[in-house]
Amino acid sequence: MKLDGKVAFVTGGRGGIGRAICERFEREGASVYAADLTKTGSLGSGGPGRFVQLDVSEDASVKAALDLVAKENGRLNILVNAAGIEIEKTIEETSLQEWNNCFAVNVTGTFLTSKHALALLRKAAEAEDSASIINFGSYDGFIADPGLAAYCATKGAVHALTRAMACDHGPEGIRVNAVCPGYVDTPMLQSFFSGDGSGGGGKTMDQLQQAVRDVHPMRRYGTPEDIANLVNWLASDEARYASGQLWVLDGGLSAQVQQMRL
């Protein structure tokens, strides 16, 4: 098993993608903390990994969660910053509070969790074990989806932060990468399709979903497991030379010029 004996901490661990990551990490032999706001998360049920209550935007909450990891393990090999929210609005419709919330979770959350995890990651690296941070960017950090302005901006910030962290902490043996999913079948995607900003244009939800699917060279949406496959690779020692990169996993969507006709 690829992650035997490693300790992993996954934020958003009860969400669509985070849950699949926790499940995969456990299968690969890691000891996993699934950190989320609530025990059931966005899917409304329990899941793999040991649950830790966490609000990534609150300094004290993040510190308390990582203090627990320190007490129980004294080190951390893998940090996955998967907690994220989206606001389905243009900037004109977005209130200051919504904007701040989106940045608080997606950007500040990544900052705070990484900041408090660094000492533990360094411990793992010093023991010549692997230490890897995997942030969640998005293909929306490169190209925009309609009505997602604040979300797109937060993902661009995560991309830049990923490179900066890789540059600063690489010499300490800590690799930092971001996974940038495209359309992945999760509660967040369902919300996007039903939201006002999706550009539905009177089409039914099924028509809209089929039209978007057909634009993908792979002719399907991603699954949380697809994303977990890549996260698992980046967390493993196979990826020991991969750092500072943004890994787009989108079924080929962004390899082509815009041609959606919804």
Partner 1 sequence: MRLGGKSAFITGGRQGIGRAIVETFRAEGCSVATCGRGARPQDLAADTAWHCIDVRDAMDVTNAALTKGNIDILVNNAGVQVEKNVVDSSDEDWATVIDTNCRGVFNVCRAFIPVMNEGGSIINIGSISGQVADPSMALYNASKAFVHGLTRSIAVDHGPGIRCNAICPGWIETGMLEAGFGLAGNPTAARDDAITRHAVRRFGQPNDVAAMALWLASDEAAFATGQCFTVDGGLTAASPLNPGLF
- The binding site for partner 1 (CB under 8 A) comprises 162-163, 166-167, 169-171, 173, 175, 216-220, 222-223, 226-227, 229-230, 232-233, 238-245, 247-256
The verdict on whether 151 is a catalytic residue reads yes
Radius of gyration of the chain (CA): 18
- 149 vs 239 by CB, closer to partner 1: 239
Whether the Cβ atoms of residue 87 and residue 106 lie closer than 8 Å to each other: no
Rounded Cα distance between 161 and 94, Å, is 24
- 170 vs 199 by CB, closer to partner 1: 170
In DSSP terms, 50 is beta-bridged to 33
CB of residue 181 to partner 1, shortest distance in Å? 9
Rounded Cα distance between 8 and 32, Å, is 5
Residue 184: helix, strand or coil by DSSP?
strand
Nearest alpha-carbon partner for 141 in 246, 229, 36, 53:
246
CB of residue 137 to partner 1, shortest distance in Å? 13
CB of residue 128 to partner 1, shortest distance in Å? 14
Neighbour count for residue 118 (Cβ, 10 Å)? 20
Whether the Cβ atoms of residue 155 and residue 140 lie closer than 8 Å to each other: yes
Whether the Cβ atoms of residue 113 and residue 63 lie closer than 8 Å to each other: no
- 19 vs 169 by CB, closer to partner 1: 169
- 39 vs 220 by CB, closer to partner 1: 220
CB of residue 154 to partner 1, shortest distance in Å? 19
CB of residue 256 to partner 1, shortest distance in Å? 5
Catalytic residue among 139, 151, 183, 221: 151
- 39 vs 240 by CB, closer to partner 1: 240
Annotate 45-103 with DSSP letters as a single string. S--SSEEEE--TT-HHHHHHHHHHHHHHHS--SEEEE-------S-TTT--HHHHHHHH
Catalytic residue positions? Answer: 151
